[in-house]
Structure 1
Amino acid sequence: MAYKYNYWLFIVNNKYLKLLQERTGYLAIGRSTLRNQGASGVIDVARVYLQKMNLKALGDVSSEVDFQRFLNRHTKALANKFPNGAKGNWGAARKALNIFLRDCLYNHYLRGWLEIKHVEEWLEVPLDGDVARNLYEMYSDELPKWTSIKSLTPDVSFKYQMAASKVSIKEEVSRIHLDVKYWRDGKFATVK
């Protein structure tokens, strides 16, 4: 007798969904994602934090202000967990969180389990040199010159996120998705 796979069994099995979050947290932060951030071990700390993060709280977020509080709280907490030399690195923590939340949104099972579809419009584009370079080319009169993730501050990040919001309106896509276009300066993109 053949085993019949129950598609929805996976969705309601919290044990496997938690494992999927752990896998996503590990894969979201590659070797190049947080290199040169001031200390060795930053990548491992970020992965562990993301794997254990209580994402179910996102289901209770009901406004952009609430979402920013959630994101700021976790940015500060992760930055403070980094090893000496990188401790307090706000930019690295924010980039890690934004990439991870994007990957959770892109995962059919996690998006449903976490009930996070409603936060898509508030998610930030993960900032890095490629994204910043593209935004700066369009809005150099409004943006400070990009330096690095390591030196990113909340104020500079906010300005780049506002520029990303302008682009997202023109592109008719949430700003979180701009990373897909700007990643590696679009060298892998085929859509014009």
Structure 2
Amino acid sequence: MDKNMLRLLQERLGRTAIGASTARGMGPVGTIQAARSFLQACDLRSIKANTPQAYRRRLDELTDALIERLPVDAQHWGSARKFVNIFLRNCAYNRFMCEAYRLDRVEPWMEVPLDSHVAAGLKHDALEANLDLTLPRWKTVIGLTPELSDSWQRVAHAIAQRGAIHRVHLDVRYWNGAHLQRQARH
């Protein structure tokens, strides 16, 4: 796949990663477009990392850079981190992007994008599995701090290990579960 096609794929993935439901309540008009523009142009070659710590540093850099690009009233660490994590997960799920940028190498360190559905799923699974983990109280995505996120990510890592998957994939499981439960009620 040539560089132009990869650029077009990244633009598409950046555009589709952040929709109205993803960003609901996270900022004023312009928040979605600012996030999309940033993700469409970020350098995916810089995601390469040989250690979890190196990946985390790059993820923190991307999060901080996105915060700066968001409207002032939308500059929340939690929403920026969620947007970056969704975008990177979607790139990893795209065969061409994953191969071109070797995202399979960082997949074990990718974070699950956090929101209320994921938090509810993590809490349910942790209790059901009798995991001896401290679960923080879920508030909101925009209320997430790096420390709270780390706590939820540790829980996600433990649950994912039990299921022999990487934690990034838990979002798909929990979103689909919530989606199916809503359908069953109607």
TM exceeding 0.5: yes
Q: Aligned residue pairs: how many?
A: 176
Following superposition of structure 1 onto structure 2, how do residues 1-192 of structure 1 map, counting pairs within 5 Å?
Answer: 11=1, 13-59=2-48, 61-87=49-75, 89-139=76-126, 142-183=134-175, 185-188=177-180
The amino acid across from 2:70 in the alignment is F
**Partner residue in 1 for 2:184:** none
* Secondary structure of the corresponding residue to residue 144 of structure 1: coil
Q: What is the TM-score of this pair, normalised by structure 2?
A: 0.90
Q: CA deviation at 1:136?
A: 2.3
Q: What is the TM-score of this pair, normalised by structure 1?
A: 0.87
Q: Which has the larger radius of gyration?
A: 1
How far, CA to CA, are the matches of 2:99 and 2:67 in structure 1?
28
Are the counterparts in 2 of residues 136 and 145 from structure 1 also a CA contact under 8 Å?
no
Q: CA deviation at 1:138?
A: 4.1
**Partner residue in 2 for 1:6:** none
Are the counterparts in 1 of residues 126 and 159 from structure 2 also a CA contact under 8 Å?
no
**Structure 2, unaligned runs of 5 or more:** 128-132, 182-186
* Secondary structure of the corresponding residue to residue 165 of structure 2: coil
* Secondary structure of the corresponding residue to residue 142 of structure 1: coil
The amino acid across from 2:61 in the alignment is R
Are the counterparts in 2 of residues 130 and 184 from structure 1 also a CA contact under 8 Å?
no
How far, CA to CA, are the matches of 1:85 and 1:142 in structure 2?
31
**Structure 1, unaligned runs of 5 or more:** 1-10
| Residues 108-133 of structure 1 deviation map (CA, whole Å, 9 limit, x = unaligned) | 00001111110000000000110011
Q: How many percent identity over aligned positions?
A: 39
